């Protein structure tokens, strides 16, 4: 048994999740069909005492069993690891930023919205120091012609507490040239993961590009 699966650690995760959901001990006991006294005994002894009861707890809390048991989940957002030793924040040059962007991938497009900026994930491709992506003409990622836009890509290495981020600021332009659309459709990463009809190509022309890398000294 590791420190992550010890009863105290599991009980702490259950308490934290209850706080997030606004559940009292009595409410959790009621939802899992056990008495508060039995629940307290479970939290002292751990899953080996009554695994089925802990499965009911995980269900009531909406927590995957592996996460309840170990504190880790495969679909967790990055940044779960502790800060690395002697962290360093390094600023990247423009060429380094474009190199990290590569030829294609998934990034986040930021566009003006009615009440606040809208940030959405999109599959992108790099074309002659611009970023292009496909979307629905009436979708949330379809900008007005010439509107200000930002585009951000990052990568996190949880195991080594390292990562990098690249941010592009510029303008969004709709592409309506059929020949250009055909050319872009042949680029790597041109097919959106989301599928569906996404015939509109958008190009982000960069006026600024900046990046940062988190490393260790």
Average pLDDT for residues 14-43, to the nearest whole number? 93
**Which residues is 135 bridged to in the sheet?**
200
pLDDT band at 66 (very low <50, low <70, confident <90, very high): confident
Residue 60: the pLDDT is: 94
Average pLDDT for residues 143-157, to the nearest whole number? 95
What is the DSSP code (8-state) at residue 189? T
Q: What architecture is domain 7-70?
A: Orthogonal Bundle (1.10)
Average pLDDT for residues 55-84, to the nearest whole number? 82
Q: Do the domains at 7-70 and 87-216 have one common CATH topology?
A: no
Residue 217: the pLDDT is: 61
**CA distances in angstroms from 50 to 31, 35, 44, listed in the order given:** 16, 14, 11
The ranges assigned to domains in the chain are: 7-70, 87-216
Residue 1 has pLDDT above 50, yes or no: no
Dihedral, CA atoms, 100, 105, 108, 109, nearest 10 degrees? 100
- For the domain made up of 87-216, the CATH class stated in words is mainly beta
Percent share of the chain, pLDDT over 70: 97
Residue 4: the pLDDT is: 58
Q: Would you state the structure tokens that stand for residue 200, as one six-digit string?
A: 């509109």
């Amino acid at each position: 048994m590791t420190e992550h699966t010890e009863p105290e650690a599991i009980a702490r995760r259950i308490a934290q999740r209850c706080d997030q959901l606004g559940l009292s001990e009595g409410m959790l006991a009621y939802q899992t069909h056990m008495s508060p006294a039995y629940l307290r005994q479970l939290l002292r002894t751990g899953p080996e005492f009554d695994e089925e009861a802990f499965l009911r707890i995980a269900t009531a809390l909406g927590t995957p069993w592996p996460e309840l048991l170990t504190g880790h989940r495969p679909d967790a957002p990055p940044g779960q690891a502790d800060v690395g030793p002697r962290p360093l924040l390094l600023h990247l040059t423009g060429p380094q930023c474009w190199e990290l962007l590569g030829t294609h991938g998934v990034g986040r497009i930021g566009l003006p919205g009615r009440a606040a900026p809208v940030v959405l994930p999109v599959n992108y491709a790099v074309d002659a120091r611009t970023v292009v992506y496909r979307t629905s003409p009436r979708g949330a990622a379809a900008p007005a012609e010439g509107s200000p836009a930002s585009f951000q890509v990052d990568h996190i290495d949880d195991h080594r507490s390292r990562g990098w981020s690249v941010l592009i600021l510029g303008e969004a332009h709709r592409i309506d040239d059929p020949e250009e659309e055909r050319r872009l459709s042949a680029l790597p990463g041109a097919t959106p993961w989301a599928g569906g009809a996404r015939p509109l190509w958008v190009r982000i022309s960069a006026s600024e590009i900046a990046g940062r890398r988190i490393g260790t000294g």
